[in-house]
């Protein structure tokens, strides 16, 4: 495989992982923002993320590890396309059908959401609960109409 083919294949895996994680139409600017908000390494530029998405470059190893952690996929799979996309035991299905393992950021995110939720009044909490129920219902049946 040529280096250009490797970069293109990486780009396709990155887009698949982003899609599977719910970031279907993310662009370079949003990818840079989301990556930098999560990463413990040096921030990346929009130009760098654009190159990743277009298949012009493959991220450095530390950035690749952060992307894999964020998107809950195997770093080895993301870089080389080998092995299982999801590294958790029992989660060895193809990328499009597997359920990812819990993210290292999930506990932090859940705690922040729980704290924010607790600050809402009872009426606001009921609205949030209803919204979550609607979103989960749509996730189970993605072809249902948007209006209701």
Domain boundaries, the chain: 3-80, 106-140
- Kindly tell me if the per-residue pLDDT of 144 is higher than 70: no
**Ramachandran assignment for 58, one of left (phi > 0), alpha (psi -120 to 50 degrees), beta (any other):** beta
Region 3-80: CATH code: 1.10.260.40
What does the pLDDT read at residue 105? 59
What does the pLDDT read at residue 22? 87
Locate 1 and state its tokens: 């495989």
Q: How far apart are CA 147 and CA 110, in angstroms?
A: 28
Please classify residue 20 by burial: count the beta carbons closer than 10 Å to its beta carbon, then call 0-12 exposed, 13-18 middle and 19+ buried.
buried
What does the pLDDT read at residue 102? 52
Contact call for residues 44 and 36 (beta carbons, < 8 A):
yes
Q: How far apart are CA 3 and CA 82, in angstroms?
A: 16
What does the pLDDT read at residue 95? 41
Among the ranges given (32-36, 39-43, 109-113, 128-132), the one the predictor scored with the smallest mean pLDDT: 109-113
């Amino acid at each position: 495989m040529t280096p250009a083919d490797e970069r293109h294949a990486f780009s396709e895996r990155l887009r698949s992982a982003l899609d599977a994680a719910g970031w279907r139409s993310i662009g370079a600017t949003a990818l840079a923002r989301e990556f930098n908000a999560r990463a413990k390494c040096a921030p990346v530029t929009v130009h760098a993320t654009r190159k990743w998405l277009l298949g012009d470059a493959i991220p450095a190893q530390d950035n690749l590890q952060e992307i894999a952690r964020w998107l809950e996929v195997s770093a080895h799979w993301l870089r080389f396309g080998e092995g299982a996309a999801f590294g958790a035991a029992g989660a060895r299905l193809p990328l499009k059908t597997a359920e990812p393992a819990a993210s290292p950021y999930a506990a932090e995110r859940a705690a922040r959401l729980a704290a924010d939720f607790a600050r809402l009044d009872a009426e606001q909490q009921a609205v949030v609960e209803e919204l979550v129920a609607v979103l989960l219902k749509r996730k189970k049946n993605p072809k249902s109409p948007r209006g209701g």
